[in-house]
Amino acid sequence: MKKAVQLCAPLAALILLAGIVPALAAEEIRIYTYMLPIQEDLTKFLTDNTGVQVKTLGLSGGELWARVQAEKPNIGADVLFGFAPGPAILGKREGLWVPYPDAPAWKDIHPRYKDKDGAYVDLGTSCFVLVGNKDLLAKKSLKMPESWSDLLDPKWKGEIVMPSPVTSGTAFMINATFLQLLGWEKGWEFLERLDKNVAQYTRSGNAPLEHVGRGEYILGLTSDEKVPQRLQQGFPILWAAPKEGLGYEGNIVAIVKGTRQLEAAKKIVNFAGTDKFQRWLAQFGYLTARDAPNPMYPSKPKLVDYSYEWAADNHERVIDAWKTKFLRK
Q: Which residues bind other proteins (CB under 8 A)?
A: 1, 3-4, 7-8, 12, 15-16, 18-19, 23, 28, 30-32, 36, 40, 55-59, 62-63, 65-67, 69-71, 74, 76-77, 166-167, 200, 202-204, 206-207, 209-211, 213-217, 233-234, 319, 323, 327-329
Q: Which is nearer to other proteins, 138 or 327 (CB)?
A: 327
As a whole number of angstroms, the distance between CA 219 and CA 240 comes to 11
Q: Which is nearer to other proteins, 40 or 102 (CB)?
A: 40
Query: What DSSP line would sit under 251-286, residue for residue?
Result: EEEEEETT-S-HHHHHHHHHHHTSHHHHHHHHTTT-
Q: Which is nearer to other proteins, 1 or 48 (CB)?
A: 1
Q: Is 79 helix (H, G, I), strand (E, B) or coil?
A: strand
* Residues in a beta bridge with 220: 131, 161
Exposure class string for 23-47: b at 16+ Cβ within 10 A, else e: eeeeeebbbbbbbbbbbeebbebbb
As a whole number of angstroms, the distance between CA 229 and CA 100 comes to 33
Q: Which is nearer to other proteins, 55 or 257 (CB)?
A: 55
Which strand (E) or helix (H) includes residue 55?
strand 53-58
CB of 206 to other proteins, least distance (A): 6
Closest C-alpha to 171, from 82, 250, 61: 61
CB of 31 to other proteins, least distance (A): 6
Report whether 262 contacts 270 (CB < 8 A): no
CB of 228 to other proteins, least distance (A): 16
Q: Which is nearer to other proteins, 52 or 289 (CB)?
A: 52
Q: Which is nearer to other proteins, 206 or 270 (CB)?
A: 206
Q: Which is nearer to other proteins, 21 or 263 (CB)?
A: 21
Tally of CB atoms within 10 A around 180: 18
CB of 109 to other proteins, least distance (A): 27
CB of 231 to other proteins, least distance (A): 14
Conformational region of residue 110, where left means phi above 0, alpha means psi within -120 to 50, and beta covers everything else: beta
Q: Which is nearer to other proteins, 57 or 292 (CB)?
A: 57
CB of 239 to other proteins, least distance (A): 16
CB of 301 to other proteins, least distance (A): 24
CB of 275 to other proteins, least distance (A): 27
Exposure class string for 192-201: b at 16+ Cβ within 10 A, else e: eebbebbbbb
CB of 238 to other proteins, least distance (A): 16
As a whole number of angstroms, the distance between CA 182 and CA 198 comes to 20
Report whether 28 contacts 52 (CB < 8 A): yes
Q: Which is nearer to other proteins, 130 or 289 (CB)?
A: 130
Q: Is the dihedral of CA 68, 74, 76, 81 positive or negative?
A: positive
Alpha helix positions (H), 169-307: 169-182, 184-195, 207-213, 227-233, 262-272, 275-282
